[in-house]
Amino acid sequence: MNVVKEIHRINDAELKLGISGASWHDDYKDSAYIFAGGLNTELTEGDVITIFSQYGEIMDINMPRDKDTGKPKGFAFLMYEDQRSTVLAVDNLNGAKVLERTLRVDHVRDYKQPRTKGDDGEWIEPEDQSLNAKPEMIMDEAPASDSSEDSGPEIDPEDPMRDYLLEKRREAKALKKEKKSKSKKKHKDETPEERRTRKERRRRNAGKRRKSQRASWALSSFCSHLARAISGEETETETMVTEIKAEAREETNGL
């Protein structure tokens, strides 16, 4: 509890002094590990990751357990993907209460990974960095599309709707591919001149639709102004009403 209060005291002192550059956190800028003590022994590794992952992606967790009972000892070491997340975790979770217990969260300067037993029974130091909590990236196994526009955003592997979303994405790709194939078959025998004519006709139709929409907006605006003028809510001049009406007529005649 004294460590919890001491961390709060240091943070408060920095705030009062208005320190904007160096901070005591900078002494641990080379370590992405934190210590979490005061954990309820009913919490699992998954529970602890859930609590601390609100400040960054957890890549590794070491939560020692009692050799006889297998129950957690009430503390853990966690590694963040981004070292800056350790600052957020220490500032925000140190002193927080979880299941009626006060957490003690602090930086770890020189973390040593737990040793493992070799084939001959001797304890050896691990050669590779432990990343036992690193999220598994599951890629969409659907066939790659011809266009990059068909590749949707990556779906979180833990999303309960993942399978459904992937299936819908595959269906949409298949439908688009089928439409594209039909379009090619439909126009496969047309000449370059016919193709240009078809595209020009499509552009003209799109232009007509836009004009029609603008005319509809102009008529709607005119009717709204007219209704308010009649009800006395708006004292518009006759000139303005005439201009709006003329604008609507011009747009309509352009169709």
pLDDT tens-digit map of 146-199: 433 445 677 777 777 778 788 888 888 888 888 777 766 666 677 888 878 877
Mean pLDDT, residues 133-138:
76
**Which one, of 116, 48, 46, lies nearest residue 76 by Cα?**
48
Mean pLDDT, range 226-237, rounded to an integer: 56
Q: Which amino acid is at 211?
A: K
Cβ proximity of 34 and 86 under 8 Å: yes
Pick the residue with more confidence: 253 or 159? Answer: 159
Higher local confidence (pLDDT), 39 or 150: 39
In this prediction, residue 130 has a pLDDT band, given cuts at 50, 70 and 90, of confident
In whole angstroms, what is the distance from residue 15 CA to residue 181 CA?
65
Q: What is the largest CA-CA distance in the chain?
A: 101
Arithmetic mean of pLDDT, 77-98? 94
Average pLDDT, the chain: 77
Tokens of 122: 């001797």
Render the burial of 152-172: b for 16+ CB within 10 Å, e for the rest.
eeebeeeeeeeeeebeebeee
Residue 148 has what pLDDT? 36
> How many other CB atoms sit within 10 Å of the CB of residue 75?
16
Q: Residue 52 has what pLDDT?
A: 96
- 216 touches 251 (CB < 8 A): no
| Distance, CA of 137 to CA of 151 (rounded, Å) | 16
pLDDT of residue 144: 46
Which of residues 230 and 132 earns the better pLDDT score? 132
Segment of 129-138, 150-159, 177-186, 229-238 carrying the highest mean pLDDT? 129-138
Strands of the sheet containing 58-62, edge to edge, are: 58-62, 75-80, 33-37, 104-107
**What pLDDT is attached to residue 77?**
97
Given a cut of 70, whether residue 84 has pLDDT beyond it is: yes
Residues of the chain with pLDDT > 70, as a percent, come to 65
Highest mean pLDDT among 63-72, 152-161, 234-243: 63-72
Residue 253 pLDDT > 50, yes or no? yes
pLDDT for 38 equals 95
What was the pLDDT predicted at 221?
Answer: 61
Q: Is residue 221 a contact partner of residue 244, using CB atoms and an 8 Å limit? A: yes
Q: Which residue intervals of 73-136 are DSSP H helices?
A: 84-93
Mean pLDDT of 124-139: 79
Please give, one letter per residue, the 3-state secondary structure of 43-66: CCHHHHHHHHHHHCCEEEEECCEC
Handedness of CA 171, 177, 183, 185 (dihedral sign): negative
Dihedral pair phi/psi, residue 50, rounded to 5°? -60, -40
50 versus 19: which is more confidently predicted? 50
